[in-house]
A and B are shown apart, each in its own frame.
Chain A
Amino acid sequence: MALSIGQLLQKKSKTVLESWINIQLQDDGLKEELLSNQEIRKQSEEFLHSVISILKKEDSQNTESPEFEKAAEILTEISTSRAMQGYTPRETGVFVFGLKEAFLSVLEKEFKDSLVPYADSQKINKLIDALAILTFETFISSREEVILRQTSEISEISTPVIRVWDGILALPIIGTLDSARTQVVMENLLMKIVETESTIAILDISGVPAVDSLVAQHLIKTVSATRLMGAECIISGIRPEIAQTIVHLGIDLANINTKASLAHALRSAFMMLKLEVRKTVEKPKF
């Protein structure tokens, strides 16, 4: 009795593995520096065995079978880790699609002159396609997770509180000031005020693209909180177009100390602290 496609591939699994790994290594895009040869081999071997065990079954299309679930699990792990490491979808795709190529080339040699039976190649095609879809689904959702995480990381790091002078803090805000970010900004600022015993805080908004009613409200809240801590808050970096928009919107910033630029704010902070910045006059030697 002739061997089934699954049994045949099982017998030839060493050749398939070699050919598949070669295909993967040939792809220029593969980041050699990220994934060692050995790692590719290990991942490939594990996955190959689970795929062959699916092909050996009658119902190879059944995505609920324990064999399929095992393969899916391995694949999910691989595409997740590749997405996290910054692989492109192409580099990830080569992994699955390369296996199809390896299967078919081994089978072609096996069947020599006659063609690979249609049903068999169809079986392989369908299975690999199902696995490829799974790969991309996991790949994309892991990428989205990376992006979400980066977004929150950026909002953390992009709100530094700088001590510009004894008693004066500056806080440049870049990007959109949403509720989550305001919380971070406010906490950082209030903590730094206590820590450095500062009495003036300058909130620079030159990097904020638009001040709508929500941003304005957040600014007002931050100013009030600062005042409660016994410090004065100056808002600087109000660009002309922002000033016009704020007026039309109807936001009242009259109770808030605002300045056009950070330099202006600093000057006014010096004045409040009764500090004077002067050019030194060189004394004549004699």
Chain B
Amino acid sequence: MITLNKETIAIKREQDVVFFRNRVNEYAEKIKMGLVNKTKLLTAASELVRNMLIYAKEGKVICEIVTISALQTGIRLTFIDNGPGIADIDKAMTDGYTTGKSLGLGLPGAKRLVNIFDVKTVKGKGTTISITKWKNG
């Protein structure tokens, strides 16, 4: 996978979410991603950035335009935080599991909305989640 364009956005407070989402929107438009895929990507991004703010207080997101062939470009977002980590990742990935009193759909939902979903989490150290959405597919 080759990276064409890269940028890091710091997430520290609620206001950063809107800025971040607008930025992802711009990236998606730049590669002419269709409306449905774009909405799915934005929604997944929104879930993960919210989790970051709620459970890890702050973090950063690396936004990249990536390509694997002349035909397939996409957007990869990597959410990095130094929060408490996710204690039981298998449980966290199931629908309805929440340690708060929310719907518990963020992680599993985000996974269903993108093409590649990759989590690395270390208890007490932090969480890194990377998602990729292709322009087509």
Interface residues of A (CB under 8 A from B): 148, 151, 176, 178, 209-214, 216-217, 240-242, 244-245, 248-251
Contacts and interface: CB of A to CB of B under 8 A. Distances in A.
B43 A212 contact: yes
B86 to A, nearest CB: 17
Contact of A245 (B14, B40, B103): B40
A244 B47 CA distance: 16
Interface residues of B, number: 26
A2 B97 CA distance: 82
Nearest to A251: B105
A242 B39 contact: yes
Contacts of A240: 36
B43 A210 contact: yes
B15 A249 contact: no
A214 B100 CA distance: 12
Contacts of A241: 35-36, 38-40
Contacts, number: 67
A203 to B, nearest CB: 19
B11 to A, nearest CB: 14
B26 to A, nearest CB: 13
Contact of A209 (B21, B95, B105, B110): B21
Contacts of A216: 103
B59 interface: no
B15 A213 contact: no
Nearest to A214: B50
A210 B38 CA distance: 10
Contact of B46 (A151, A210, A244, A250): A210
A158 to B, nearest CB: 14
Interface string B1-17: 00000000000001101
Given A211-B43, A212-B106, A213-B47, 15 more contacts: A148-B15, A176-B18, A178-B17, A209-B42, A212-B46, A213-B105, A217-B103, A241-B36, A241-B40, A245-B113, A248-B40, A248-B109, A249-B43, A249-B109, A250-B108
Contacts of B38: 241
15 contacts: A148-B15, A178-B14, A178-B17, A211-B43, A213-B106, A213-B109, A241-B39, A244-B39, A248-B113, A249-B105, A249-B109, A249-B112, A250-B105, A250-B109, A250-B112
A35 to B, nearest CB: 31
A284 B124 CA distance: 84
A248 B14 contact: no
Given A178-B14, A213-B105, A213-B106, A250 B43 contact: no
B102 interface: yes
Contact of A210 (B15, B39, B102, B108): B39
A210 B25 CA distance: 11
Interface string B40-70: 1011001100100000000000000000000
Contacts of A214: 46, 50, 102
Contacts of A213: 47, 102-103, 105-106, 109
A178 B14 CA distance: 9
A61 to B, nearest CB: 34
B21 A217 contact: no
A108 B15 CA distance: 50
A182 B40 CA distance: 22
Contacts of A250: 95, 105, 108-109, 112
